[in-house]
């Protein structure tokens, strides 16, 4: 691998979170401007093509994002419930009832929310790719429906994630 390509890959990895946020926001904010059903129309707009191809970029970045966040045992932080570990999560939820902001990191509420976001990002990406792959067939409309449903879940995640990030920043300023 050339040195320049290696540097580019390292920069993409370094900024993948920011890149995914910006691309996802663009795709969400412009999604109402696209008109697609079974396939990309012959007279598709630039918004249709941008949505499809930037969506493919997001899909391509979603797998390394997931892998980076589950490698070397880090999956335990984002998915503690897979091991039956609910201690910090329940502590954070009880603390919320008393008005305490959960701590960032660990196996608590914020980390579990981020884990759900990783799954939703992968789901939106997978359904979008499948919609593209099956375009022109009757199955494409099913994948379109799955894609829209998972995108709505991902939008909900982004809103919750933004609130969590703001709460974390407020907590940092307060301390």
Cα–Cα distance, 59 to 151 (Å, whole number): 13
Instruction: With a cut of 50, list the residues of the chain below it in pLDDT.
Output: none
Cβ atoms of residues 89 and 80 within 8 Å? yes
pLDDT of residue 59: 97
Cα–Cα distance, 59 to 153 (Å, whole number): 16
Q: Using one digit for the tens of pLDDT, what is the confidence trace for 15-44?
A: 888 999 999 999 999 988 887 888 888 888
Cα–Cα distance, 34 to 32 (Å, whole number): 6
């Amino acid at each position: 691998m050339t040195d320049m390509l290696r540097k580019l890959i390292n920069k993409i990895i370094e900024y993948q979170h920011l890149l995914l946020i910006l691309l996802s926001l663009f795709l969400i904010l412009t999604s109402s401007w696209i008109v697609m059903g079974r396939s990309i129309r012959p007279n598709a707009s630039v918004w249709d093509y941008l949505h499809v191809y930037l969506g493919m970029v997001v899909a391509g970045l979603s797998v390394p994002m997931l892998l980076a966040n589950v490698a070397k045992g880090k999956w335990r932080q984002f998915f503690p419930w897979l091991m039956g570990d609910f201690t910090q999560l329940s502590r954070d939820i009880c603390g919320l009832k008393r008005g305490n902001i959960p701590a960032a990191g660990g196996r608590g509420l914020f980390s579990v929310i981020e884990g759900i976001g990783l799954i939703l990002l992968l789901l939106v990406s997978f359904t979008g790719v499948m919609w593209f792959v099956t375009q022109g067939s009757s199955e494409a409309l099913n994948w379109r429906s799955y894609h829209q449903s998972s995108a709505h879940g991902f939008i909900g995640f982004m809103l919750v994630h933004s609130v969590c990030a703001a709460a974390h920043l407020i907590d940092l300023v307060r301390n």
